[in-house]
Amino acid sequence: MGMSTVVKDRDHVAVAALSLITVGGVYLDGWAHVNVRGLETFFTPWHAVLYSGFVVTAAYLVVLGVRLGGRAGGPQAWWHALPKAYKVGLAGVATFAVGGAGDMLWHTLFGVEKGVDALLSPTHLVLLVGGMLLFSSAGVAAARVNGSRVAIALSAAAVGAAAAFFMSYLDVFRQPWARLPFVPNTDDTYVIFGVGGYLLDTAAILVPILLMRRHLPRPPRGALSVVVFAVAVGGGANSEYAYPAPIVGAVVGAVVADVLLGIVPWRRDPWLLFGFAAPVFVWSGQLLGTAYANGMGWTRELWAGVVVLCALGGWALAAVSRPAEPPVARDGGEPRGGAEQRESATMAG
């Protein structure tokens, strides 16, 4: 059977959807660590959802490689037939497997963590690295061939939600910090927590989408709404949805941003506009939801300033993720630096 390098859109969607299900297992396990008493074993229903999702996603990639490389091709042919992004995903599978084995040993020796220490456990961070490599693979693979926008959005949502989970100690969907009263010249600890939470959640939402910048001319329409939904709903689960209005406000803001960014005729660099505008709409919606349902404890300088600060941070993330431009040609037609590179190569030879 000949080798085929064609991956269908449905394959990208399947891997992305399975990745998001696996992240759902991560949130279930996190909820159990916080809310279930007497949890002192590795073998729990929530771990079962997490690790079964991982196994099924990994198995899908292996079957995809077999299908592309031919049943008689052997492991080497299967590996070479996979797109580069899925090879990175399988490297993530190996990393995740090592982290899972280490996590079981860690829990057996030291017990089960109950709080912030669970998010900083070394074996859990190894799981995070492996998961990020796996979860991002479908989105990158689809973006490289200008493929399924659904796959890109679901993959970005899995990456963003996983990142937000590991920073949930500052998550603004778990705890709307802006509802807590602030009195100038007094203890500002909760304001610091809040500002840090908005900045970290901004990164968790934007970076997974900006990963696609190398392959797409403009941000994929709808991806922001899907990522914000996953991050906000996942974050709210940790407090058992004690604060639903900020979640709804953020999702509505993301939808409005997606619609406007899709119709605004911005030609210079739509990614820069996305990086700046997305936080403005998302956090304005989240803060409006907070004020409506829980009251606004922050001063106008704080709530307005944090929106601007996150917008500037998003713009900076979009700017630094810009792909390298080709060398500028000199008057003689040779790219700047070409002669120096050729001279260095001659000397090295």
Residues 142 and 223 in one domain: no
Residues 142 and 272 in one domain: no
**pLDDT at 334 exceeding the cut of 60:** no
**pLDDT at 123 exceeding the cut of 60:** yes
- Average pLDDT over the chain reads 86
Residues 108 and 202 in one domain: no
**pLDDT at 170 exceeding the cut of 70:** yes
Among 166, 183, 213, the domain-final residue is 166
Report how far apart, in Å, the C-alpha atoms of 333 and of each of 305, 330, 336, 343, 344 are.
48, 5, 9, 17, 20
Q: How far apart are CA 217 and CA 14, in angstroms?
A: 24
Residues 182 and 133 in one domain: no
Query: What pLDDT does 203 receive?
Result: 97
**pLDDT at 5 exceeding the cut of 70:** no
Does residue 91 fall inside a structural domain? yes
Stronger pLDDT, 32 or 200, i.e. the higher one: 200
CB-neighbour burial class of residue 71 (10 A; exposed 0-12, middle 13-18, buried 19+): exposed
Does residue 333 fall inside a structural domain? no
Query: What pLDDT does 267 receive?
Result: 77
Cβ(42)–Cβ(108) under 8 Å? Answer: yes
Residues 211 and 275 in one domain: yes
Residues 279 and 201 in one domain: yes
At 237-261, the pLDDT tens digits run: 888 899 999 999 999 999 999 999 9
Strands (E), 20-170: none
Residues 94 and 159 in one domain: yes
Residues 158 and 184 in one domain: no
Mean predicted confidence (pLDDT) in 297-317:
96
Nearest residue to 314 (alpha-carbon basis) of 344, 261, 252, 271: 271
Instruction: Give Cα 247 to chain centroid, integer Å.
Output: 18
Residues 120 and 186 in one domain: no
CB atoms within 10 A of CB 313: 18
Residues 160 and 200 in one domain: no
Residues 92 and 148 in one domain: yes
- Give the domain extent around 309: 170-324
Does residue 336 fall inside a structural domain? no
Residues 247 and 121 in one domain: no
Does residue 348 fall inside a structural domain? no
Does residue 345 fall inside a structural domain? no
Does residue 19 fall inside a structural domain? yes
With residues binned 3-state (H G I as helix, E B as strand, rest as coil), the percentages for the chain, rounded to 5, are 75, 0, 25
Cβ(142)–Cβ(216) under 8 Å? Answer: no
Query: What pLDDT does 331 receive?
Result: 57
Does residue 84 fall inside a structural domain? yes
Lowest mean pLDDT of 43-52, 198-207, 333-342, name the range.
Answer: 333-342
**pLDDT at 185 exceeding the cut of 50:** yes
Does residue 342 fall inside a structural domain? no
**And the tokens for 97?**
């497997």
Number of domains comprising the chain = 2
Stronger pLDDT, 7 or 271, i.e. the higher one: 271
Q: ∠243-314-316 over CA atoms, to 5°?
A: 155
Mean predicted confidence (pLDDT) in 103-116:
78
